[in-house]
Amino acid sequence: MRSLLLVALLLPALAAAEIYRWTDAQGRVHFGQRPGAGAEPVEVKPQVVERDEHTREREARSQRFFDARREEQQQAAAAAAEQREARAAECRDLRRRLAQIPEGFSYYRTDANGERIYYSDEETDTARRQLRTRIAERCG
């Protein structure tokens, strides 16, 4: 990442750099950024790349695939977040229900007629144990 940033910063300087050409005593041609004896500047033109129809179609197909994959990932992330929220809500509910079972007091439920039906001590302990087990399983 840092090297990419460095290249991006140096790219304008490299584009503005001049290139020189000279021939040494043995007749070999050299290129460099510093002018030597008898060096002449060389104009470097950027290369324009024309893509054919097949290449453009392949690039468009790749872009569509990339876009579809990104959309799938976003949907999967949203679904995972929704599942996490549902699990957190379930855990809050289980913990609330466990906290509502009083220690050493009568525990009851209300029937269809609105009358209280009291749990026995064993039923209360069983309800606590079941809630704790579900909390351990579902909530970690």
pLDDT tens, position by position, 48-73: 778 889 999 999 999 999 999 999 99
**pLDDT the model gives residue 2:** 57
Instruction: Kindly tell me if the per-residue pLDDT of 23 is higher than 80.
Output: yes
Report residue 27's pLDDT band, with 50, 70 and 90 as the boundaries.
Answer: confident
For the ranges 1-5, 8-12, 76-80, 129-133, the maximum mean pLDDT occurs at: 76-80
Of all residues in the chain, the percent with pLDDT exceeding 70 is 85
Report residue 13's pLDDT band, with 50, 70 and 90 as the boundaries.
Answer: low
Instruction: Kindly tell me if the per-residue pLDDT of 6 is higher than 90.
Output: no
Q: Would residue 63 count as lying in a domain? A: no
Q: Would residue 113 count as lying in a domain? A: no
Instruction: Kindly tell me if the per-residue pLDDT of 81 is higher than 80.
Output: yes
Q: Would residue 106 count as lying in a domain? A: no
How far, in Å, are 21, 23, 62, 112, 132 from residue 40 at the CA level? 5, 10, 45, 102, 85
Q: Would residue 42 count as lying in a domain? A: yes
Domain span including residue 19: 1-48
Return phi, psi of residue 60, to 5°. -65, -40
Q: Would residue 134 count as lying in a domain? A: no
Q: Are 106 and 118 in contact (CB under 8 A)?
A: yes
Q: Would residue 41 count as lying in a domain? A: yes
Q: Would residue 82 count as lying in a domain? A: no
* Number of domains within the chain: 1
Q: Tell me, yes or no, if the pTM score tops 0.75.
A: no
Q: Would residue 1 count as lying in a domain? A: yes
